[in-house]
Amino acid sequence: MSVDQAYFTDMEARIPHGKVRTRFAPSPTGYMHVGNLRTALYTWLIARGNDGTFILRIEDTDQGRLVDGAVDVIYRTLAECGLDHDEGPDVGGPVAPYIQSQRRDTYGKYAHRLVEMGHAYYCFCEKTESEEDSGEFGRAADPCRDLPAEEVRARLDAGLPYVIRQRIPDGGTTTFHDAIFGDITVENSTLDDQVLLKRDGLPTYNFANVIDDHLMGITHVVRGSEYLASAPKYNLLYEAFGWEVPTYVHCSPVMRDAQNKMSKRHGDPSYEDLKAQGYLTEAILNYVALLGWSPRGELAEQEIFSLPELVKAFDMTGISKSPAIFDRAKLDHFNAVYLRSLAPEDFHAAALPYIRQAVRGEQFDTAAIAALLQARCERLTDIPEKLDFFDALPDYDLEFFTNKKSKTNPDVCRDMLRAAIPALESLPEWSGDAIHDGLIALAEQLGVKNATLMWPVRIAAAGKLVTPGGAVEICHILGREETLCRLRLGLAKLEA
């Protein structure tokens, strides 16, 4: 199959030059795992930090793994995270199309071109699809590598199915450079003749990404360090075509622990899982940025970065060669910082769905409840269990009234509630200040510490040892009637 040279000349003419161009090229397989999100973020930061172009490309050549709706997940995640793309399937661009399955003819032409140039060959051997996809088929065992040209032509004319394989040089070495790992040299004898074009005419990932990266003018390729082993073969393809090799940026994996990579199969969370678990997008993104990268210089001790601050701070030299371990406690810390930094009205908006899971009574002020929670939760999903006492008083144990620090026991608490109920009944208004001042004055009148009075009031009002607010706040939100009803029930429990 010979292709007119004009086609390749025209394709070269379309390639944008003169600025940094990066790409995020996910496979639509159903979810955005943490490592994928980190790749998207680093790729976006390199583009934005260099006034470059960020491209979204959908790599869907592995048709067996595609999941309905997965492309929507990619778009939604990037949009929520603020990782806007300049070119892509939905916005177009000078090197469209940006979906690999729509570029099928292009890969075929370049694969056949590589055969004409002697850097690839037709292979007619029977192989399983997994062998095709992985390229795991040793070249020593492939009799097609050295078939005479007339035999190849006869088989093609007979319509025999074939794959196209890369012809790795027999001897010598290949050296490639990575921005993180430096120069790496491998013996060509250790490289396999990987499949470039499968029998169905679709390219393998390893071929398609090289062709697309070149034709889209990609200057920096960010990917996982598991692709370091394939980089020499990518280099040989670039050299075969006479193309400039982009800057490789291989990032070490994100690990669940010291031994195991994160994996959806093992229940490790995707971006959407983390959102559902009560983490803010900004906190997730900030934490993911620091999974394998650290700022340098005067920013070396800084942990909290907004997206614009990351653009200014990000430098590829800060990417680590060592794997990063996903630390849930550290993410909780980041999330708590972000939750506390929200404007009260923004926190209320974020918390409201979770408040309403536990507090259905419309009489309760959800903004006041949110104000109690903002400094006291690490994840939004912590909220419902903290509020389960508002709609209905729990059946609590009498021992709750005993607290060494507050110097209370059931007898002390009985006396406190006997005094507190009429004091609260007589308040001229039911406001936070009025409740606070009334109880403080009562404690002074009774000659006890504030905590000695506040403890039984809070226990009787909430029926819980741990609450998101103190006695004053809880009584205020519950309202006069409900508070007094609960305090009378508490007193009855103590007097029984």
19 is catalytic: no
- H or E stretch at 228: none
* Contact present, 276 and 82 (Cβ < 8 Å): no
**Cα(193)–Cα(153) distance, rounded to whole angstroms?**
21
Q: Find the length of the chain.
A: 496
- Distance, CA of 316 to chain centre: 19
Q: Which of 264, 275, 449, 493 is catalytic?
A: 264
433/435 Cα distance (integer angstroms)? 6
Classify the C-alpha dihedral 73-75-79-83 as positive or negative.
positive
Q: Of 486, 271, 278, 292, give the one whose Cα is nearest residue 393.
A: 486
DSSP state of 363: T
- Distance separating alpha carbons of residues 409 and 378, to the nearest angstrom: 32
CB-based contacts of 308, cutoff 8 Å, min separation 6: none
CB 227 within 8 A of CB 193: no
Picking from 404, 427, 425, 407, the residue whose alpha carbon sits closest to that of residue 415 is 407
Active site residues: 264
